[in-house]
């Protein structure tokens, strides 16, 4: 469990840092590196919370697992959207469409990492049961 959280944090921050460095050289006049780092952190926090929640429901009933999937998705999406909107309307640097594109990329990235880690966790549990 802790290993999966560390993989998620390390993978997200590594890709976020790499994207920030590359975008700094490709678009030196745009604040895309800032967007990358903020989006990575913003998407990482709710994803870690839902990953912890998902790992605790692995031995639960299918109904509770479905609740975790739907509730985790709603929680993550609502939090990222709310903070993204707050940044968009209150901080002038984030008042660009580019911020939303970068935020969407990192949202999908963290979602994909979480799914990969959870599917690996489920496979490990099945192999231990047999």
Domain boundaries, the chain: 2-129
Q: Do residues 49 and 116 touch, judged by C-beta distance below 8 A?
A: no
- Do residues 12 and 37 touch, judged by C-beta distance below 8 A? no
CA dist list (Å): 28 to 24, 82, 91: 5, 28, 20
Q: Which two tokens stand for residue 42?
A: 């913003």
pTM value is: 0.81
CB atoms within 10 A of CB 56: 12
Three-state DSSP class for 122?
helix
pLDDT (tens digit per residue) in 85-130: 999 999 998 988 999 999 999 999 988 888 888 777 555 555 555 5
CA distance 17 to 5: 18
* Of the candidates 17, 65, 8, 64, the residue with the CA atom closest to the CA atom of residue 38: 17
Digit-coded pLDDT (tens) for 17-63 = 898 899 888 888 888 889 998 999 999 998 888 888 777 766 667 77
In whole angstroms, what is the distance from residue 60 CA to residue 54 CA?
A: 10
Helices then strands (H, E): number in the chain?
Answer: 4, 0
């Amino acid at each position: 469990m802790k290993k999966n959280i560390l993989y998620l944090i390390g993978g997200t921050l590594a890709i976020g840092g790499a994207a920030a460095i590359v975008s700094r050289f490709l678009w030196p006049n745009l604040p895309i590196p800032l967007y990358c780092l903020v989006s990575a952190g913003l998407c990482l926090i709710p994803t870690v919370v839902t990953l912890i929640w998902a790992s605790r429901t692995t031995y639960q009933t299918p109904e509770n697992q479905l609740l975790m999937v739907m509730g985790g998705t709603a929680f993550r999406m609502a939090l990222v959207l709310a903070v993204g909107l707050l940044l968009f309307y209150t901080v002038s640097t984030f008042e660009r469409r580019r911020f939303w594109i970068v935020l969407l990329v990192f949202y999908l990235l963290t979602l994909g990492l979480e799914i990969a880690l959870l599917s690996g966790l489920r496979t490990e549990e099945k192999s231990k049961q047999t």
